[in-house]
Amino acid sequence: DAGITQSPRHKVTETGTPVTLRCHQTENHRYMYWYRQDPGHGLRLIHYSYGVKDTDKGEVSDGYSVSRSKTEDFLLTLESATSSQTSVYFCATRQVNTGELFFGEGSRLTVL
Amino acid sequence: AQTVTQSQPEMSVQEAETVTLSCTYDTSESNYYLFWYKQPPSRQMILVIRQEAYKQQNATENRFSVNFQKAAKSFSLKISDSQLGDTAMYFCASEETSGSRLTFGEGTQLTVNP
- Residue ranges covered by each domain of chain B: 3-113
Please list every residue in chain B whose beta carbon sits closer than 8 Å to the beta carbon of residue A49: none
Cβ-count burial A40-71 (b if 16+ within 10 Å, e if not): eebbbbbbbbeeeeebeebebbeebebebeeb
Cβ <8 Å between B47 and A58: no
Determine the pLDDT at residue B99: 65
Please list every residue in chain B whose beta carbon sits closer than 8 Å to the beta carbon of residue A90: 45
Work out the minimum CA distance from B39 to partner chain A, whole angstroms: 11
Q: CB contact, 8 Å: B103 with chain A?
A: yes
Strands (E), B1-114: 3-5, 10-14, 19-21, 24-26, 32-39, 46-52, 60-61, 64-69, 74-79, 88-96, 101-104, 108-113
Please give the residue of chain B at the shortest CA–CA distance from A4: B44
Please list every residue in chain B whose beta carbon sits closer than 8 Å to the beta carbon of residue A99: 33, 35, 50, 95, 97, 100, 102
C-alpha B46: how far from chain center: 11
* Domain architecture of chain A: domains with CATH: 4-111 (2.60.40.10)
**pLDDT tens over chain A, length 112 residues:** 559 999 999 999 999 999 999 999 999 999 999 999 998 889 999 999 999 999 999 999 999 999 999 999 999 999 999 999 999 999 999 988 888 899 999 999 999 9
Cβ <8 Å between B50 and A99: yes
Most distant CA atoms of chain B, gap in Å: 44
* B3-113 CATH choice from 3.60.15.10, 2.60.40.10, 3.40.50.300, 1.10.10.10: 2.60.40.10
B36-B37-B41-B43 Cα dihedral, nearest 10 degrees: -160
- The number of helices, as runs of H, and strands, as runs of E, in chain A is 0, 11
What do you get for the CA distance between the two ends of chain B, in Å? 41
Whole-angstrom Cα distance, residue A44 to residue A3? 22
CA atoms within 13 A on the CB side of B49: 20
Three-class SS of residue B96?
strand
Please list every residue in chain A whose beta carbon sits closer than 8 Å to the beta carbon of residue B35: 99-101
CB A20 within 8 A of CB A6: no
Determine the pLDDT at residue A2: 57
Q: CB contact, 8 Å: B70 with chain A?
A: no
Q: CB contact, 8 Å: B5 with chain A?
A: no
Residue from the list A99, A103, A106 with its beta carbon closest to the beta carbon of B95? A99
- pLDDT for B92 beyond 60: yes
